[in-house]
Amino acid sequence: MDFSSVLTKIKEIISQEQNRERVFDKDVAEALGINQLTFATMKKRGKLPYEEIIEFCAKRKISINWLFYDQATKSLEEETGKYANIRYFRDIYASAGGGAFNEEEEGETLVLDPHMVDMLGGAREVKNIDSINVLGDSMEPTFYEGDIIFINKNQKDIKKGGVFVVSTPIGLFVKRVNLKSNGELDLISDNPLYSVESVDANSVEIIGRVVGSMRSF
């Protein structure tokens, strides 16, 4: 990438926008919001004004990779589409109780590679998934303390059992569940040292099914 080639592309963009045959360096400086003398000095030194160029491209929805590296936008979209972002709530823990799951929180962003996206059900399902941490040893050896678990909030049907994140009056738990005919819900730990807890199914909220995990090292 060199100053001259990037400058030529920016001039072409301005030319199309303003329907002008000729675009000068001063026009580029103005479009980038840079003093003309400063821009002339940067050009002489071959120093690209990255921050201003990024803002220039962002306003016009132009690919930075195309401007700097001639990478086709379509190929970038295809590669980017293989990855997925999900919300990660670092400060929310489930298993030993405590904490709450607040849909209003933004959380952090966790980037999943294509393999992980497939493991969690594909791009369509990933849109419904949030992630939190495991606390305690009640679900060992399935989940260990510090593991990140992935919760599909669109899967809340507990009739067939499975591992779910459940919000109870005394905290947030990750447990296997079993709905009994009397309306009670068994919260079952995978660690045999923990006994089964039964609660009124109407007193809890099913956050979603645990569809995967990532070990923390």
Q: Dump pLDDT digits (tens) for 104-151.
A: 566 788 878 777 888 888 888 988 999 998 988 999 999 998 888 999
d(Cα 193, Cα 169) in Å, to the nearest integer? 23
Q: How far apart are the first and last CA of the chain?
A: 39
Q: Are residues 174 and 123 in the same domain?
A: yes
pLDDT tier at 73 (50, 70, 90 boundaries)?
low
Q: Is pLDDT at 98 greater than 50 in this prediction?
A: no
Total of domains in the chain: 2
Domain boundary pick from 49, 79, 109:
79
d(Cα 82, Cα 152) in Å, to the nearest integer? 19
d(Cα 217, Cα 74) in Å, to the nearest integer? 37
Sheet with 171-179, side-by-side order of all strands = 108-112, 84-94, 129-134, 148-152, 205-214, 163-168, 171-179, 184-188, 197-200
Q: Are residues 124 and 204 in the same domain?
A: yes
Q: Are residues 166 and 88 in the same domain?
A: yes
For position 24, which CATH number holds? 1.10.260
Report strand pairing: 163-168 vs 129-134: unpaired
